[in-house]
Structure 1
């Protein structure tokens, strides 16, 4: 029955072995949040230093961090990782950002965007790669799961790239 739900025995086994957010717990910071100065609230809207609207900076990752998604134009997005206990930015998520000059591409040349999935009480982060349809290939989604180091300076993969995405 499990094989029928997930599609194949190999896929079922692959999904059963995937880490869960609860496997990488983080204690949530309860002190005063230190918002980096490039986030500005005007009326009820938060904006970044480029004037683009962003989500309100709140702890959404690894107990004390804010993963911010920013737009920098067509096919350009970047992520910031802010330690809200200090107000300092970390570069651990730079690898998931596009530079705006050219879109990110798979090895076979298809463009994609990266979506990061986080939880406030976990140091695990899921990178979802949303791959565009092209050259006779259908659009698809792939995932790779990472964890944040205890010093917040880097993310390390804990899985290979997995075909298909799971609602988390």
Structure 2
């Protein structure tokens, strides 16, 4: 059976036949059975009370990710404009170790990218930080595509929760770094 919803043609198997002859599908089934390989995207723009330096360097301090994220991470190369790091991400479906390139322009932009790993076609994370009166504005963006369609569809359902968890983990760590009065500059030298 083919259903045309907002000019998207989707194929499904029969689940329930209603009295009027139309089939009923849950939102979960619609998303799960849609095996397109579109990019998975999460974006959140938020104002937080934090110093720009603490937040910026919390993101660049890749070696500490393992203490507040479900990642194992290690910087392998440092440069004035970029880092290379090995990250290992794990969830209930897969565990993947991959190399990331972390470009940054102090104090406003950090872009993390990985291409053609065992699990990902691509993975891009971008942080844009703007100074505002009494706070900073963070524009957080994730874009990725998985090679396995089942993983892709699962992550499509899970991305809002995952993106929010990552963002708020960085916010919490940044605030803790601010309370500890850590010399954040030493982390990138």
**TM-score after normalising by structure 1:** 0.29
More strand by share: 2
Q: Which has the higher contact order (CA 8 A, sep 6+)?
A: 2
More helix by share: 2
Larger Rg computed on CA atoms:
2
**TM-score after normalising by structure 2:** 0.27
